[in-house]
Amino acid sequence: PILNDHSELKPRRPAEEYIKGVLAGNRVILSQAITLVESRLESDQDLAELVLAGCMSHTGNSYRLGITGVPGVGKSTFINAFGMHLLDQNAKLAVLAVDPSSQRTHGSILGDKTRMADLSLDKRAFIRPSPAKETLGGVTRSTRETILLCEAAGFNTIIVETVGVGQSETAVHSMVDFFLLLMLSGAGDELQGIKKGIVEMADGLVINKADGENLLAANKAQVEYQKALHLLAPNRNNWSPMVLTCSSTLPSGMEEIHSMLEAYKTKMQTGSDWKENRKRQARQWMRDTILNLLEDKFFKDKGVQNQLPEFDEQVVQGVIAPTSAAKSLIRLYLQGL
Ligand code: GDP
């Protein structure tokens, strides 16, 4: 199991203290509560559950925004600029960001300060980095819980960033209200390393770096993507994804992106789509958790651990079919319960 930031060495508080602190919007305690729900230590599980339970009735009141794109597209620069725009509109913003120390970009490791420079200095924003290395592009099993804790702490806009590497997009898509894909002009989807299906998942496409020499190409790309998306059926909830351009460095285009998010929310909330989407996600979350917990328990089981090498060998040698081996191991596990 992956242990994060030596959480096993830190003393814990009583559940009541975490709950009170989070609900009061205390940043230090919020961070500690996040560390607690991120912990994979057996001894932390009950406490984490209590804390979440105590916060549940104060959750759900935020705009959950997922942002993805390949490394170098400008995610952190964009979140910095868009985040500042949101703060100026009085949003209470929390960003669950990919930890720079675990992400390689252009062959160099970006320092903390170069990512989201303004936002990280602004006391109004709360930024929580999560490691990209050992997890799914910065999305962990506990990202959903972290969203809930941030909501309980009073944040009404939550940005979840993920590195565009594939699986992580599906995970983030399943936990946000709006899924935004950042793109570059002048390179096809494949060249950009965008996995098939990601474009179809997006509620909005934004072509970044629409500035200087790149401006014309960005506008051209916008028209092309608009045409291409027109051919696709409207995605979830009958929403036809929009294509916009922006510059995160100037910055420009932030208002338009904000308007798109508001238009989406208005449309979704006019009917029952907003709520239905959240309900669907909650059901999915429970099912995903069941699978995760079962997987954990299965592989931690002593009997399974004893037998696994033997089965591995026989599967590798072609003595048993992998499906048969899997079924035998599961039978063994269930008998041992
Ligand atoms: P990330 O890996 O997706 O988080 O990308 P970064 O935010 O680190 O940006 C990668 C590089 O692109 C950096 O050198 C940024 O300064 C640059 N960049 C990001 N957004 C823009 C933009 O809108 N215009 C221009 N010209 N450069 C940008």
How do residues 1-13 score in pLDDT, each as one tens digit? 444 555 555 689 9
pLDDT in the model for residue 169: 81
CA distance linking residue 233 with residue 210, whole number of Å: 27
pLDDT in the model for residue 137: 57
**CA of 252 relative to ligand 1 center, distance in Å:** 14
CA distance linking residue 130 with residue 132, whole number of Å: 6
> pLDDT-derived band of residue 315, with 50, 70 and 90 as boundaries?
very high
Q: Mean of the pLDDT values across residues 230-236?
A: 72
CA distance linking residue 192 with residue 256, whole number of Å: 24
- Whole-angstrom CA distances from 140 to 30, 245, 292 are 17, 30, 12
Look at the block and give the residue holding tokens 């309980």.
152
pLDDT in the model for residue 194: 62
Instruction: Give pLDDT tens digits for 237-292.
Output: 678 899 999 999 999 999 999 999 999 999 999 989 999 999 999 999 999 889 98
**CB of 120 closer than 8 Å to CB of 150:** no
pLDDT in the model for residue 311: 97
Can you point out the beta strands (E) in the chain? 63-68, 93-98, 104-105, 108-109, 126-130, 157-161, 178-183, 204-207, 242-245
- Taking the CA of residue 77 as reference, the ligand 1 atom at the shortest distance is 7
Pocket mutation for ligand 1, best pick of 244, 247, 248, 252 (most atoms within 8 Å of C-beta) = 248
> Residue 272, Cα to own-chain centre: how many angstroms?
24
How many residues appear in the chain?
A: 337
- Taking the CA of residue 110 as reference, the ligand 1 atom at the shortest distance is 8
Q: Mean of the pLDDT values across residues 213-229?
A: 89
Those residues with Cβ within 8 angstroms of residue 98's Cβ, 6 or more apart along the chain or in another chain: 75, 76, 129, 130, 132, 137, 138, 161, 162, 163
pLDDT in the model for residue 130: 76
User: Which own/partner pairs from 302-305 qualify as long-range (CB within 8 Å, at least 24 positions apart)?
Assistant: 303/332, 303/333, 303/336, 304/329, 304/332, 304/333
- Whole-angstrom CA distances from 255 to 70, 72, 178, 240, 247 are 23, 23, 16, 19, 12
pLDDT in the model for residue 18: 98
More confident residue, 237 or 76: 76
CA distance linking residue 37 with residue 52, whole number of Å: 8
**CB of 162 closer than 8 Å to CB of 172:** yes
Q: Residue 174 pLDDT more than 70? A: yes
Those residues with Cβ within 8 angstroms of residue 114's Cβ, 6 or more apart along the chain or in another chain: 100
Q: Mean of the pLDDT values across residues 191-203?
A: 73
Can you point out the beta strands (E) in 142-256? 157-161, 178-183, 204-207, 242-245
What is the pairing mode between strands 178-183 and 204-207? parallel
Within 6 A (CB) of ligand 1 lie 69, 71-77, 105, 208-209, 211, 247-249
- Whole-angstrom CA distances from 79 to 7, 159, 162, 191 are 28, 8, 12, 23
Q: Residue 138 pLDDT more than 70? A: no
pTM, full prediction: 0.88
**CB of 116 closer than 8 Å to CB of 83:** yes
Q: Residue 109 pLDDT more than 50? A: no
**CA of 248 relative to ligand 1 center, distance in Å:** 7
| Atom 9 of ligand 1: nearest residue by CA position | 74
CA distance linking residue 157 with residue 95, whole number of Å: 8
Residue 134 dihedral angles phi and psi, to the nearest 5°: -90, -5
- Whole-angstrom CA distances from 165 to 37, 137, 161, 162 are 25, 7, 12, 8
Q: Residue 158 pLDDT more than 90? A: yes
Arithmetic mean of pLDDT over the chain: 87
Residue 222 dihedral angles phi and psi, to the nearest 5°: -60, -50
